[in-house]
Each structure stands twice: as structure tokens, then as C-alpha cells.
Amino acid sequence: MKLPPFDYACPTTLSEAVKLLAAHDGEAKALAGGQSLVPMMAFRVAAPALIVDLRKLVELREVRIADDGVTLGAMVRWRDILDDKRLAAAQPLLVAAAAHVAHYQIRNRGTVGGSLAHADPAAELPGIAVTCEAKITAVGTSGSRVIDAVDFFRGPLMTILNADEIITEIGLPAWPAKRRFGFQEFARRRGDFALAAAALFYDEDGKKVRNLHVGAIGVADRPLRLTAVEEAVNGKTIDEATIAKAEAAAAASVDPPNDIHASGAYRKALIGVMVERALRSAAA
């Protein structure tokens, strides 16, 4: 389908990009990989008067790995994450999730910042961000701010970002070498958006679980932390009884609506199964 008409700018500095967004009072949109914005424009869900292409902002393409964690620039693509062998050790949960994002061609273009700003409740990265207590940095005309991932997502395709703000990076806390993790997703076909997915990690105290973080994707209007599951499992060993409690707590924590892809009851059961499988794979 043809896109609606729009003006186009390709700034070479972040401050120029922010000024362009600010000058258009909500009528301008940043363009990153275009894998969500362009289809939205084709379907007339979005019709920005100005597209501000971020592709020349090379400083947003950086991946930094340090003792205190990993920082991904907003223009880092799924392909960059999957190809970076350092990330497989530094953030294995992120890499496991990125492998489920879309299809080959889309992973070559889609970006971290675009996924966060687009805020699809079934997208993997927002779920990882909430699970891992990531911090998202955005720059606007009034300066830079750092937002906790849990506060960033406001609903389907809605975030706390102002119209003049550009995400510059996301920071994920350091990942201890012995940490255990699991990521399980169910989609109709590989690469489709998740009908439901669970992301989790924990550390061990002897054989007991501590510091369990559990995230749920695709079962609410935004990614969720399943604190009831964390409470049910922290301090326990992973055995059949604990796994059964975790599964039941996960299903009881959510109340997904019916939609064209699945009933709410189906997704509710599915998130229990995803948590169960993720715990088993983490323990194994």
C-alpha cells in the first residue's frame, strides 16, 4: 500500500533530531528500522506530517559491556544483538528473547529503541526490560532523563515518552556468571508475535532459589512482573511442588482479554505453562 504523504528529515545530530520533533508538536515521528512505523502508516494507523530518520545518529548504534551491566544504543538492531558473542555471556536472557523476534529480514532492520517506543504488549524486549529492571534513557528539549522500564510502558502502543523525546539507550544491570535463566514463548508460527511468553532468572543459595525475577509478555496491556510467582518460589528448591505452585500463581496473576488471536482463558492457562517450562529449563 502507498504511504500517506509526509515530509522527511535526516538529521546528523541528536539535538537537531529533538528540535525537529519538538517543532512539530506531536505531528512528527522518529524513524528507526521502520518495521512498525511504516506498516502503521500503510494501514493509516499513523500519518505523521514529518518523518525524522535517525539512521545518521551513529552514536546510538553502540553496545557497551561493562562491570555494571550492558548498555544498548537505541539504534542497535536485533541482528546486532544476535551476532554479538559477548552478549551471549553478558545478557543471555536478552539474546534468548531476541531470537524470537520476528523474521530474518525484520531482525536485520528492527531496533531496540523502536521496539521500546512502539510498546507492543506482545513484544519481547519490553518484557525483558521489565523483568531485568532495565533503565531507559530519553533525550528531549528539556534534557535527558532515565526511566525505570516498569514505569515506561503505559498501555498498548503507549509509553511515558513526550512527543519531543528520543530514546538514546537502554541499560541492563550486570549479570552474574552463575545466574540461571529461562525464556519460553508460544506463537502460532516462529517469528509471529507471542500469544504468551515468560522470561525469568534467578540466583542460587545452595540449592535454594533467590532473587527470582519473572516477566510475562502478551497477557496484558503491557509487560508485567509476576511478583506472586517470585514470592511462591524464592527460598524454595525447584521441585515438582514448587513448579506447580509457580504455574498456578502465574495463571492467577493475569486476566487477559479475549481477542482475535486467543481467548483470555487460553492465554491465562498458557502463561502458566510458559512459566512452568521456563523454570524447568532454568533449573536444567
Ligand X SMILES: Cc1cc2nc3c(=O)[nH]c(=O)nc-3n(C[C@H](O)[C@H](O)[C@H](O)COP(=O)(O)OP(=O)(O)OC[C@H]3O[C@@H](n4cnc5c(N)ncnc54)[C@H](O)[C@@H]3O)c2cc1C
Binding-site ranges for ligand X (CB under 6 A): 29-37, 39, 54, 74, 101-102, 106, 109-111, 113-115, 117-118, 123-125, 166-167, 193
DSSP 103-168: -HHHHTT-BHHHHHHHT-TT-HHHHHHHHTT-EEEEEETTEEEEEEHHHHEEETTEES--TT-EEE
Q: What secondary structure letter does DSSP report for 102?
A: S
What are the angstrom distances between the C-alpha of 201 and each of 7, 22, 256? Answer: 45, 39, 23
Q: Per the structure block, which three cell numbers stand in for 75?
A: 539504534
Give least dist CB 278 to ligand X, A.
17
Give least dist CB 156 to ligand X, A.
13
The backbone region for 26, taken as left when phi is positive above 0, alpha when psi lies in -120 to 50, beta otherwise, is left
Q: Per the structure block, which three cell numbers stand in for 110?
A: 528492527
Taking the CA atoms of residue 10, residue 79, residue 128 and residue 92 in that order, the dihedral angle to the nearest 10 degrees is: -140
Give the residue with the Cβ less far from ligand X, 30 or 233. Answer: 30
Give the residue with the Cβ less far from ligand X, 109 or 179. Answer: 109
Give least dist CB 53 to ligand X, A.
9
The beta-strand segments (E) located in 13-121 are: 28-31, 50-53, 63-66, 69-73
Give the residue with the Cβ less far from ligand X, 4 or 235. Answer: 4
Rounded Cα–Cα distance for residues 238 and 283 (Å): 7
Give the residue with the Cβ less far from ligand X, 70 or 233. Answer: 70
Give least dist CB 42 to ligand X, A.
10
Give the residue with the Cβ less far from ligand X, 72 or 238. Answer: 72
Give the residue with the Cβ less far from ligand X, 111 or 131. Answer: 111
| Helices within 161-239 (DSSP H only) | 227-233
Angle at 144 between CA 139 and CA 147, to 5 degrees: 90
* Inter-residue contact 121 to 221 (CB < 8 Å): yes
* Inter-residue contact 57 to 10 (CB < 8 Å): no
Give the residue with the Cβ less far from ligand X, 19 or 245. Answer: 19
Give the residue with the Cβ less far from ligand X, 166 or 212. Answer: 166
